[in-house]
Amino acid sequence: MKVLPKVVSKRKKRLGRGYGSGRGGHTTGRGQKGQKARGKIGVIFEGIKMKKSFIKHLPLRRGKDKFKARKKPLIVKSRYLDLIPTGSTVNIELLVKMRIVNEKDARKYGVKILGDGDVKKKFKIAVPISKSLAGKIEKAGGEIIKN
């Protein structure tokens, strides 16, 4: 004789599906009247008029992607490379140590160095850089490590 396994979990009672459902008839567990009894409430709605909503707490960003997270890397201008000692390997760890970028953001989004100024020191670069900066670094005697 084969024994069926014991069912531990029960299905959720479905509201408003007749008296036999256990949650049927009249107000079906929603109380009387009001916004919650009638339909869905928006994600933004916080409950009362005077309370500052969650959306208002967020920093203001314009455009249609304002609620999407950042996907582009952090931009570091080449003039910040003057803060770094000559001959060092430029990577995320060094940029965080020199307080040029925030560690949490750098790990999450990555870092890219853009060439807007002149480079006079030798560096080994181990982060993504622009083509214009690559030429300037090689001209100064540095090298680019592919990562």
pLDDT digits (tens, 9 = 90+) for 1-17: 788 888 888 888 888 88
Strands 143-144 and 111-114: unpaired
Can you tell me the distance from the alpha carbon of 24 to that of 19, in angstroms, rounded to the nearest whole number?
A: 4
Burial class (CB in 10 A: 0-12, 13-18, 19+), 110: middle
Widest Cα–Cα separation across the chain: 85
Q: Quick one: CA torsion of 110, 129, 87, 145, rounded to 10 degrees?
A: 80
Pair 141, 122: CB distance under 8 Å: yes
- Whole-angstrom Cα distance, residue 73 to residue 102? 12
Give me the chain's average pLDDT, please: 85
Q: Averaged over 132-137, what is the pLDDT?
A: 90
Domain locations along the chain: 13-66, 74-144
Residue 5 identity = P
pTM: 0.53
The terminus-to-terminus CA distance of the chain in angstroms comes to: 64
How high is the pLDDT of residue 50? 62
Half-sphere exposure of 96 (CA within 13 A, CB side): 13
Does the pLDDT value for residue 61 go beyond 90?
A: no
Q: Say which CATH architecture domain 74-144 belongs to.
A: Ribosomal Protein L15; Chain: K; domain 2 (3.100)
